[in-house]
Structure formats: C-alpha cells, structure tokens
Structure 1
Amino acid sequence: MPTQPNSHRLRFGRASENGRAYLITAVTHERQPIFSDWQLGRLLVAELRRVHDASLVDSIAWVVMPDHFHWLMQLRDNNLGSVVGSTKSRCTQAVNKMTGRRGPLWQTGYHDRAIRDGEELLPFARYIVANPLRAGLVQKIGDYPLWDACWL
C-alpha cells in the first residue's frame, strides 16, 4: 500500500489542547474522488455532526470536497487525534458498507493547524466554504450541498 511521502511525520510532535480551535484537513486514499457522489459525502457529514452532537467538538465550519474535507472546530474535553481518527474510521465503515468497497478510504494522518488565541475564525471559515468555488465545482456556494458554518 503506497503512502504519501512524509505522511508518517504528521503524527510527530502533535499535541492537542482542549478549548483550542483547529483547522483540520484529511485527504482520501490516493486522492480518490469518493465524495463526488454527494450521498457518500452525506455519510461524512453525518459523522461530523455526530461528533459535534456528542459534545466532543464545537463545529464552526466544514466542507466535504470530492477527495478531502476541511473542518474548523473547537476541541472540547477530548484528544484531537482520537476525534479525527474515529471520525475517519466511522466514515470509512459507512462508505464501505454502502458501496461494498474494501480497503482504506483515507490517507494516513491528517493536517491540523491550531488557531492562535486572538485570531479571527471568520477568515478560516470563509476559506473553507469557498473551496467548491475555487475548485470550479459551483458558481455560488449555495449550490454546493456539502458544507455548513455555525453562522447560518
């Protein structure tokens, strides 16, 4: 199973801080556009909402793109790696069950950026929800079905 160069390094030196906001990006295995099928994308959306509803995080904004997702969230009383890992795992199980596929759905690891105290969250949220526009998937964000932001 080929891996991305240096993907193993994503795990080193990572610490999570409760109450801190994070911008998370996770990419599908071999950048397969699994979520081009919006019904499969809804399975990931359900997992993001489940984590929020379980009070593990406060979701601020997210978008599910064909081959990756961005998630701006504030970590509650939990571990960042556990939250992201379980979200990816549960999504994989749901997608594989619906499609009958096997094997990995996600690349190993994920990218996280801790938001510094005092940094405004709105620019990060705008970046996230504008992804489908920049990718040329839609002409206006309201036409894209796989995003949300807490300000709506």
Structure 2
Amino acid sequence: MDRISTSPHGRDLRKGRWSLSGQVYLLTVVTVYRAPRFAEWTVARQAVRAFHSPQVAAHVTTLAFVVMPDHVHWQAQLNHGGTVSEAVRLYKVTVSVALGGGAWQRAFMIGPCAGRMTCVRSPAISWPIRCARGWCGISGNIFIGMPCGCR
C-alpha cells in the first residue's frame, strides 16, 4: 500500500511555470499560518502601497487587487523583461519590510487570465465604492482596487 506523503509539494506546482510579457495573471499570496495580518485598515494600507512601489511596478502593471485579512488577490500584467516570480517576491519583501517582519507563506498561486477586460471586470462587485488617488476601493476588512478616472 502506498503511503500518503505529509511533506509539502509546493515546488511541484511551479514545474512548467513561465512568464510571458504582456500576459495578465491572477495571483494569490497568503499570510503565514493564514494569520489575519491585514484585518486593520492601517496595516492593509501597507499591502496596498506595495502594489505601486517602483520595484514592483518595474515588473508588472497592477490592474486590480483585493486585500483580504489573510491573503491578497492580485491581477497584474507582466511588463517586458519582468517575471511573475520576481514581481511577487518584490511585493512580498516590500510588504514584509513595511510590517517589520515576514508576513507571507513561501509559495503563491498563479493563473493566466483570458484577457484584460475579463480580469479587470471580475472584482467589480456591486459594493459601496469610494475613490482616492485614482483607485477605487472599499474600507473595512476588504480593499478592492481598480484603476478609475476620478483623480
């Protein structure tokens, strides 16, 4: 009888993973032990600011994001010369430095989107939305970000 392995197999998920310039990706990163690190607005704001850091922006263009208390969903388009893994690494480092310590599980989930409109429209849920600095969002335990024209 085969034994069921209890060791993590995250590297198996990365086999065959490659980055394509111009492709839109849906990324999910999770906090260590799924701890609700972003339950407070001020802490979640650090995660939001990291999307726009010059280091991250050099690799990807952020199209939309959702910051939940214990994880982040991120829709991004890969820039020329960038890699998804490097963009996620830089995002995680930026947030961890802002929070004063490691916040993330090692791996991340990734999926390509069919097209820009499909991706950008998917988080546009009919919730009350407010605008600040050209990004629409919602306060509380969830922050949804999408580009808007109300600067």
Once residues 33 and 10 of structure 1 are traced to their aligned partners in structure 2, the CA distance between those partners, rounded to angstroms, is 25
Task: Select the residue among 140, 145, 149 that pairs with 1:148.
Answer: 145
Instruction: Write out aligned runs for 1:106-145 (5 A).
Output: 106-116=104-114, 119=115, 121-130=116-125, 140-142=127-129, 144-145=138-139
Residues 106, 49 of structure 1: alpha-carbon distance in 2 compared, 3 angstrom cutoff = same
Within the candidate set 7, 11, 28, 1:8 is matched to 11
More helix per residue: 1 or 2? 1
Unaligned runs of 5+ in 2: 1-5, 131-137
Secondary structure of the residue aligned to 1:58 is strand
Q: Report the number of matched residues.
A: 133
Question: Which of the residues 73, 82, 89 maps onto 1:85?
Answer: 89
What code does the residue aligned with 1:128 have? P
Q: Per the alignment, do residues 27 and 149 of structure 1 end up closer, same or farther by CA in structure 2, a change over 3 Å counting?
A: same
Please tell me the residue identity of whatever aligns with 1:125: V
TM-align CA RMSD: 2.6
1:49 aligned to which of 52, 57, 72: 52
Instruction: Determine the structure 2 residue equivalent to 1:73.
Output: 76
CA separation in 1, counterparts of 2:119 and 2:52? 19
Do the aligned partners of 1:51 and 1:87 also contact (CA within 8 Å) in 2? Answer: no
> Which structure has the greater CA radius of gyration?
2
Unmatched runs of 5 consecutive residues or more in structure 1: 97-101, 134-139
Q: Which amino acid aligns with 2:23?
A: R
TM-score (norm 1): 0.74
For residues 113 and 60 of structure 1, the distance between their equivalents in structure 2, rounded to whole angstroms, comes to 15
What corresponds to 2:42 in structure 1? 39
Structure 2: how far apart are the matches of 1:27 and 1:62? Answer: 14
- Structure 2 length-normalised TM: 0.75
* CA positional deviation for 1:5: 4.0
Match in the other structure for 1:136 = none
Describe the shift of the 1:129–1:95 C-alpha distance in structure 2 as closer, same or farther (beyond 3 A): farther
- Cα separation, 2, equivalents of 1:32 and 1:5: 19
Q: CA deviation at 1:7?
A: 2.6
Residue identity in the other structure for 2:145? D
